[in-house]
Amino acid sequence: MKMLMHASSGGSLLRVTVAVSGLCVPSNLFRRYGFRHYSVSTALPSISTKKNNKYLSQPINAVLDIGGTKITKDDVVKDDPTNNVPDSIFTKLGLQLHRRDKHPIGILKNAIYDYFDKNYATEFTKFDNLCPIVSLKQNFDDVLVPADHVSRSYNDTYYIDAQTVLRCHTSAHQAELLRMGQTHFLVTGDVYRRDSIDSTHYPVFHQMEGFRVFSPDEWEKSGINSTSYAAEELKKCLEGLARHLFGAVEMRWIDAYFPFTSPSFELEIYFQEKWMEVLGCGVVEQEILKRNGRADNVAWAFGLGLERLAMVLFEIPDIRLFWSNDERFTSQFSKGQLGVKFKQFSKFPPCYKDMSFWINDSFTENNLCEIVRGVAGDLAEELKVREEVQSKLNVVLR
Ligand code: DAH
């Protein structure tokens, strides 16, 4: 099948050519005439996509209750020029994979809880039901994300309206929990980012945030300054956590930058013959503590992506599988069993679709990924830019 469309958009010519199965226009033709050329590979699922699947989709008129906040589709997918949340994202709200004890994400969360329960005299308060709809202030300003930071863009973040987003990280809850008087806490939740399509990226994933406040008597008796004390405690804590999850692994600390911590670090572990980033962390910026009633304290914080770790620990090869309700997936995991190795079941072979089209300056790859996901859902396995070529020629292919 070959389809050719052209339309005027904002004065510039848009041409779309979609070639599906067998009748693809040879790619060197595209090359010659200078399109931006994308290749989208889709595979039939090893994942069930049945419409009434009680986990994969929410009935569109459902009223969700997340931590006491009632949410309907109209609260999230709005006819507002600033809204960029598609239906496919709304259907993920409230599924809360991290709250299922027999799901790899829930199993991993519980294993991390165990580590903190066993190793700390002061219990860390656990939050895993905070609403993912947050204000711009919570998501960005409260954690000192600069006004021009790329993560604030419509291209990267899901906006419900100009002041409200789907949280793009669990750090969005740090300030409110501090104000509530919390000093030791873990926040687990679903987070949302507009992103590329491949086996390790999905627009919804899960993070765990850790936060610990120290009082002056804690570092004073150690004889070192507050920042160094917090950094040392942080590293000890996270090295212990990595060993708890991965066994006796080699680790290294990399200096990093996050707006909310200074100094900031990333922890990497050497696992299956490569260095893998496990988490980001650091000593919390004093400004955050000061604004939230903790001017005399020091604190550490960390944030880790649960899918990334679960994929390694359970040997799950594709991030879409976490959303599967196929028995052949779900039956492989049980409560408390960290690191059971996932066994592949039949998977349909990928089927490649090549597309080439004219773009204008407002084009972004993330926007294209949203469109592809909107049509193909979880069938879309990967989207790759093949080439981008400028051309002054106006050529119509037939
Ligand atoms: N919020 C960061 C992210 O999503 C992760 C993170 C890094 C959280 C450092 C922290 C931290 O609390 O200290 O990429």
> What's the whole-model pTM score?
0.84
Same domain, 258 and 390: no
Does residue 110 form part of some domain? Answer: yes
CA distance 25 to 397: 9
Contact assessment for residue 53 and residue 325, using Cβ atoms and an 8 Å cutoff: yes
Tell whether ligand 1 has an atom less than 6 A from the beta carbon of residue 169: yes
Give the CATH number, domain containing residue 129.
Answer: 3.30.930.10
Same domain, 358 and 321: no
Query: What tens digit of pLDDT does each residue of 199-239 get?
Result: 999 999 999 999 999 999 999 999 999 999 999 999 999 99
Same domain, 193 and 300: yes
Does residue 347 form part of some domain? Answer: no
Does residue 49 form part of some domain? Answer: no
Q: What was the pLDDT predicted at 164?
A: 98
Q: Which of 61-75, 92-106, 258-272 has the lowest mean pLDDT?
A: 61-75
Contact assessment for residue 280 and residue 288, using Cβ atoms and an 8 Å cutoff: no
Tell whether ligand 1 has an atom less than 6 A from the beta carbon of residue 96: no
Q: What was the pLDDT predicted at 1?
A: 25
C-alpha of residue 280 to centroid of ligand 1, in Å: 5
Domain that holds residue 191: 96-331
Q: What was the pLDDT predicted at 383?
A: 84
The answer on pLDDT for 385 being more than 50 is yes
| Mean pLDDT along residues 240-264 | 97
Same domain, 319 and 371: no
Q: What was the pLDDT predicted at 4?
A: 28
Closest Cα to atom 9, ligand 1: which residue? 281
Q: Cβ-count burial of 156 within 10 angstroms (0-12 exposed, 13-18 middle, 19+ buried)?
A: middle
Same domain, 364 and 229: no
Q: What was the pLDDT predicted at 41?
A: 61
CA distance 304 to 321: 19
Q: What's the number of domains the chain is made of?
A: 2
Same domain, 276 and 141: yes
Q: What was the pLDDT predicted at 72?
A: 95
Q: What was the pLDDT predicted at 308?
A: 95
Tell whether ligand 1 has an atom less than 6 A from the beta carbon of residue 280: yes
Q: What was the pLDDT predicted at 40?
A: 60
Same domain, 325 and 357: no
Cβ-proximal residues to 149 (8 Å cutoff; 6+ apart), any chain: 140, 259
| Mean pLDDT along residues 109-137 | 97
Does residue 85 form part of some domain? Answer: no
Mutate to test the pocket of ligand 1, among 171, 177, 277, 306 (most ligand atoms within 8 A of CB): 171
| Mean pLDDT along residues 50-61 | 47
Q: What was the pLDDT predicted at 73?
A: 95
Does residue 86 form part of some domain? Answer: no
Contact assessment for residue 142 and residue 288, using Cβ atoms and an 8 Å cutoff: yes
Query: What tens digit of pLDDT does each residue of 257-284 get?
Result: 999 999 999 999 998 889 999 999 999 9
Higher-confidence residue of 165 and 364: namely 165
Cβ-proximal residues to 52 (8 Å cutoff; 6+ apart), any chain: none
Task: Classify 250 as helix, strand or coil.
Answer: strand
The answer on pLDDT for 48 being more than 80 is no
Same domain, 374 and 247: no
Mutate to test the pocket of ligand 1, among 150, 182, 209, 266 (most ligand atoms within 8 A of CB): 209
| Mean pLDDT along residues 346-350 | 73
Does residue 64 form part of some domain? Answer: no
pLDDT category of residue 49 using cuts at 50, 70 and 90: very low
CA distance 281 to 262: 9
The fraction of the chain above a pLDDT of 70, given in percent, is 82
Q: What was the pLDDT predicted at 354?
A: 81
Domain boundary among 297, 331, 365: 331
Does residue 178 form part of some domain? Answer: yes
The fraction of the chain above a pLDDT of 90, given in percent, is 69
Same domain, 241 and 380: no
Same domain, 276 and 133: yes
| Mean pLDDT along residues 271-299 | 96
Both structure tokens of 223:
């004889």
C-alpha of residue 111 to centroid of ligand 1, in Å: 20
The answer on pLDDT for 54 being more than 90 is no
pLDDT category of residue 6 using cuts at 50, 70 and 90: very low
Kindly list the distances between the CA atom of residue 114 and the CA atoms of 42, 244, 245, 312, in Å, as whole numbers in the listed order: 39, 9, 11, 19
Does residue 310 form part of some domain? Answer: yes
Same domain, 150 and 253: yes
pLDDT category of residue 182 using cuts at 50, 70 and 90: very high
DSSP annotation of 395: -
Same domain, 266 and 139: yes
Q: What was the pLDDT predicted at 61?
A: 65
Q: Which of 61-75, 106-120, 311-325 has the lowest mean pLDDT?
A: 61-75
Q: What was the pLDDT predicted at 241?
A: 97
Q: Which of 65-69, 229-233, 343-347, 383-387 has the lowest mean pLDDT?
A: 383-387
